[in-house]
Structure 1
Amino acid sequence: MIHPDCCGKNSAMKADSDNSREKHREMTRTGKGARRGAWLLWLLLPLLAQSALAALEARVDRNQVALGDTLRLEISATAGEDLGDLDLTPVQRDFDILQRSSTSSVNIVNGQRSESRQLVLEITPRRQGDLLIGPLVSGATRSLPLQVNVGPPPQNPAADAQVLFEAEVDRSRVYVQGQVLLTLRLQQAVNLDNRSVTELQIDNAFVKPLEQKSYQRTVNGRPWLVHEIRYAIFPEQSGTLEIPAQTFSARESLARRSLFDRANGPLLRRSTEPLTIEVLPRPDSWPTNTTWLPARNLTIEEEWSVPPEQLQAGESATRTVRIRGEGLQGAQLPPTLFPAQAGLRYYPDQPQITESESGRGLVGQRVDSAALVPAVAGRYRIPEIRIPWWDTERGELREAVLPAREIEVSAASATPTAPVQASAAVEPSTPAAIAPGASSNSRELWLWRGIAAAGLLGWLLTGWLWFRQLRARRDAAQPVASLPPENENHAYKQLMAACAGSQAGAARQALLDWGRSLYPGERGLSLSEFRRRVDSAELSTVIERLEQNLFARGDEEWDGSALAQCVKSLRPQLRSRSGAAENNALSLYPT
């Protein structure tokens, strides 16, 4: 006989069990729905990312042309847009389309497929002035507008002129370490073979060859083929900069009467006039103890791998600061410092210094990144970054500013405690009644295993970041793979530019490249071996100071003038000893 109280108790326990199973089924349905939503979002992410990255890009090969010149307009699409049906009305308002061609390519990287299409137009302006190519539209994407400055038609050459060669600069006055663009322009009305131009060599200046360009020009109905060789020149000291005359040589092409006819045409030589540039010193209003930056424009921006407002104690986020300067070399841009503070540590990565070209010359870029790891929860202030630079167009001091920000770091997620299994001692039930509990224990076991694995990965990540910091300090100025310099003069100019910009890391690498150019047989030449070969106490002293600045802790700015002066005094002796030779001709390749 069963006591009524026991019946009531068993009925209540059964009802509770039924309720818990119903809740479990409801939670399971909710969890499955959430997982379905997460999987759906995960599957849609590539499509969303593709639409976000889709872009229609348009660019011209030159922003300044003369009436009668041709220029190249390239239109690129990365989201499968059909460029064949593109509305070209914004182009045809002020330009005639002479020729068009199209290409397409498919790339597969790490299983990700990307397709790009390109439409190339050869166009010529209809009138003078500042002409605007409006945005080109394809579907939901559009390009940015482009501006082209069209000057008057060039002077009519003499009727018997066949080959013209001239030099011009974009400005007659420049600040020290600022950019001057030199253009050597060859115009030919006849076919030429074996074309070459003497190599540009300028004392007390760094010379950077830019991309060669070819186009057609019509003057009074007479067609000319034009080749342009451009250089970015950075004077290293104030005063007068002399650009020597440059010489072009070639042979006129003659029609061959047979395969065995090797007759050469007459030799043609043309020379430009020498040019003089006035190099201005730093203005008196420039602040002391700051890197001198004469530029057309300078910008600074930052990116975070994780939104800083979502950081938790013990987690890491990578902060990337990008500095971009128009009319500057990458080595001239100052490094970004990540000052540590109580409870907040930085693990800096190797900086990335690159250079690219635009219609206005060289564009330098420096990218500094560091892993930020807050040790404890709290509020932290990341200080602002303020970079003064001299606007060469306006002739005034300006500043690029990355504002300070406050970040609130939350505490790490609390570790759940294991529940006490008191229900196991109440009353044994049927195997079916205890199955949900067993399933719950299994899930909790896997949860604990996941937490333990996440903790282990966190420790491994911290150790890896610490190791990377040590390696970055050890190899701060030595990239993994360094291409050999073209010649000793090129390596020397790179070294002088790094010293002029007081860039310690770039100067160390440039010094190593210069040493290897002096001793080309020593492919694995190290800096210590180079010091031993030169055997100069002065050079050893300045190298020791350079490495102390790089590898010892301290915020003192390195001054490259001592290294530059030492290298200048040693260079004639080392060149004569090693027999470093220079290539004195630059070949012209039609494009």
Structure 2
Amino acid sequence: MVTAWRLGALITMFLVVGLAEAAVSAQVDRTELYNDESLVLTVTVSPAAELNSTDLAALASLFSIEQRVQQQSSQNINGRARSRVDYQFRLSSKARGVVAIPSIRAGDEQSEPIFVTVLDARQRGDSLAEDAVQFTGRLSNNRPYVDQAFEIVLEFAYKIQVKGAIETIDLDSFETRLVKEENTNTTRNGQTYNLYRQVLELTPKNPGAVKIPTIVFNGEYPDSAQGRYVRFSRTVDLEPIEIRAIPASFPSDAYWLPATEIRLSDNLDTGQPMDTNSHLDWQISTQTQGLAASRLPDPLATISASLDSRLRLYRNEATFSDNQRLDSAALTIDTPGTYRIPAIRIPWWNTDTDTLAWAELPERTIRVVATTQVSPKGTGQAPGAEPLLSPESRSTEQPELAPFGPNYWLYATLLAGLGWLLTLGLWWRQVRTVTTARSTDVLTPGAVSPNWAVAQRLAKASDYSGLYQCLLRLTGAGNDPLTVVKARLDQSTRQSFEDLERSLFSDQATPPSASAMTALVQALERLIGRTGSARAPDEALRLYPN
């Protein structure tokens, strides 16, 4: 009986041992390190199981997980196969001092916490010569205004083999932008150094005194005596910064613009009168020094509300370079008269003199005259057709007259006879044409004149520039100005006319559809025919009255 009891106890002990091995264990390769170094944590789970995600999140809050790998294997214990998995993490601490690696669970089992000591790398000694490496930093301005950008210039000069990086610093109270990062060479005290330069642009958001944290460069160099790389650190402490508030004398309803210079210029020529139904390309340039161009306000926004309602601006999207904002617009006026362009004034704060300044464009006037319509009579062309020769292509020189020859009068008589016969033939052709036209009018009382047919073809071909010029000639041939004709159109047709103008004067506008332009031509033809403003285009071809 005793022997059986002992045998049962032994079996139970083996089972307990087997169950005890189904556990989670953790170990590290070092328990003391500097904050710029890393350690390896190994978590072993047997039998294989997944680690608890909540525990891994807690680990990630204390350490940066630079690498994670896992390896699975199996082994025989007491004749039974059992799996095992090793999780390895390379960790770098986010804090200094004594830091705990938390317990990590797998199923119902968990590892024990591990405590490591993280030392300040800035306190680490090294055997480098004083001039082997040099780490320096400087501020471009230690008394900036709110929203006035300034720079931190960091330089690491070295004449030995080095690899490393500048430690990230906490700059939450600033908007930060990396302006430049470069590697070059320099000479200091007669010695040549490799130079790494980093330029950071900082823009403060709130007034007050600020101290930039100590900036640290952590690196390592090969030590032939020790046969390994040796870690080292260098630090830079910058002077305190006083961030000044917006001055009380600056206009409270204006954009706060701290800069060393802001200038306004444009290309608007008011010395020459402007024709109705034409447009001016207006470009306004705002140039700045000491302020990002993206922070410059829209100069036209200050005058849009005070512009004459008959003066229209078709805006394009502004473009930016490092120190310039460029605004473009097309300026159109339909009604003759004199129009005032208000002055443009933008306040800014001169940071060199600590005074209020203004960027200005003066008030100007534009004189608009009615567009002169050239009569097509005698040209043999329809009013909507373009001339065959431009005015510049016609010669202004008069040819010299040759002396009369002995057969001059004979030739003149023959030419006169031929001219009379030609006139008679044209007259007979005109009589037949008029008769045919009248019979056609009886059959198709709504027939479209040739000029409107040209407009219809241009509309269907989506030739918007040619269509607009044709419509200007056709509507301008009557007694009413274009504004009166447009006012008589219904809302949708008037909108189509304005869409046509906008597509020509603004790069951002969407071209209208061909069907909308066809409907516009038909509406204008009906309107001008109904109001009696159109003249018969074939009068110029009639040699004799009917």
Structure possessing the higher radius of gyration over alpha carbons = 2
RCO greater where, 1 or 2, for CA within 8 Å and sep 6 or more?
A: 1
